[in-house]
Amino acid sequence: MLVNNAVYVNGERTADPRSLEETYQLLRERGGMAWIGLYRPDQAQMLSVAREFGLHHLAVEDAVTAHQRPKLERYGTTLFTVLRPARYVESEEEVEFGELHVFTGEDFVVTIRHAETPDLGKVRRRLELAPHLLRQGPEAVLYAVLDQVVDEYEPVVAGLENDIDEIEDQLFQGDPDVSRRIYDLSREVIEFQRATHPLLGMLTSLEVGFDKYHVDVDLQHDLRDVHDHAIRIVERADSFRALLQNALTVQSTLVSQRQNEEMRTLTETSLAQNEEVKKISAWAAILFAPTLVGTIYGMNFRTMPELHWYWGYPIALLLMVAISTGAYVVFKRRDWL
């Protein structure tokens, strides 16, 4: 839909057309620059803009379907810019990415948002308070949009940095969910890198064209400032990825250490149990001999060897003691007792 629409002459807002057709008519009559702001436009709106300003059909297709990577392409006198703005959602502790397309020509700017970010209303208000910037034409609008997108990366960087600090605390607290959080945060950082890394090449391309397209000196300084800011953002994003890779390595090491400690505890427990089993088995073997002799002689059969012999009972007792003592000595020597 048509979000904001205006015609600027000599840096001043002179009209607020209610439709695209009215914008085209006023631009032809008054000259100056038209700035058309669209939010998720339909194909009919895009075709209308494309016909009026001679936009390339490939760029128009990209603007309608979205899901493009950041890029900067020139089609004749029209510059097509794709940006991936981002914002940090504090309540959910995650990064939300959007998409913004900007067409800049000799006397027009068309901005197409496919998400809530960036706040282009803020960009428009800022430029309207500085007519000397708007007098510089569509290039000034493109600069201001780039500056806003890069500025909105700062809270994202701060949010990611805070998440990484929390992960470092979780690592040494033994939190079982930390691996999943490291993985999710790594995915967000990679996506953030995909949004920010292309900016460096895009801004470099704009700087290369300063002389060719006679860009104002003040605007050149502003764009270089945005470039420096973008470099810092990219470097911090790269450091986040390195920190998360290190965190994942530390997590793997800590998990391995805990597993080794558990295995060692299990092994020690098993060895202790084996020692107890050996002792129990040894005493069972020692007691088996007297139990066997006593059991046999306790059957009370009439016909049994040595049953009526005078020395039979002492000999039986002596035999039980001798066998038990011998077994005890054998087990003791083998450290079973």
Read off the pLDDT of each residue in 254-280 and give the average, rounded to a whole number. 75
Report the candidate in 56, 63, 96, 65 with the shortest Cα–Cα distance to residue 82: 63
Q: Last residue of some domain: 197, 229, 257?
A: 257
- State whether 96 and 34 are in the same domain: yes
- Residue 266 inside a domain? The answer is no
Tally of domains in the chain: 2
Residue ending a domain, choose from 197, 226, 257: 257
pTM: 0.75
* CATH number of the domain that residue 289 is part of: 1.20.58.340
- Predicted local distance difference test score (pLDDT) of residue 191: 93
In a shared domain, residues 105 and 243: yes
pLDDT band at 234 (very low <50, low <70, confident <90, very high): very high
**How far is the CA of 58 from the CAs of 2, 50, 74, in angstroms?**
22, 11, 11
pLDDT of residue 218: 83
Residues across the chain: 337
Instruction: Give, as one character, the DSSP assignment of residue 264.
Output: H
pLDDT (tens digit, 9 = 90+) per residue, 102-133?
999 989 999 999 888 888 889 999 999 988 88
Helix (H) or strand (E) holding 13: strand 12-15
Distance from C-alpha of 85 to C-alpha of 332, rounded to nearest angstrom: 79
Residues 163 and 244 occupy one common structural domain: yes
User: Residue written as tokens 């909105």?
Assistant: 152
Are 282 and 153 within one domain? no
Q: Are residues 278 and 239 in the same domain?
A: no
Residues 199 and 300 in one domain: no
Q: Is the pLDDT of residue 183 over 90?
A: no
Q: Is residue 262 part of a domain?
A: no
Q: How far apart are CA 96 and CA 266, in angstroms?
A: 46
- pLDDT at res. 304: 60
Looking at the structure, tell me whether residues 287 and 178 fall in a common domain.
no
Is the separation of the CB atoms in 84 and 195 below 8 Å? Answer: yes
| Range(s) of the domain holding residue 246 | 2-257
Query: Do both 279 and 239 map to the same domain?
Result: no
Residue 100 shares a structural domain with residue 13: yes
Instruction: Kindly state whether residues 102 and 248 are assigned to the same domain.
Output: yes
Residues 159, 294, single domain; the answer is no
What confidence score (pLDDT) does residue 305 get? 61
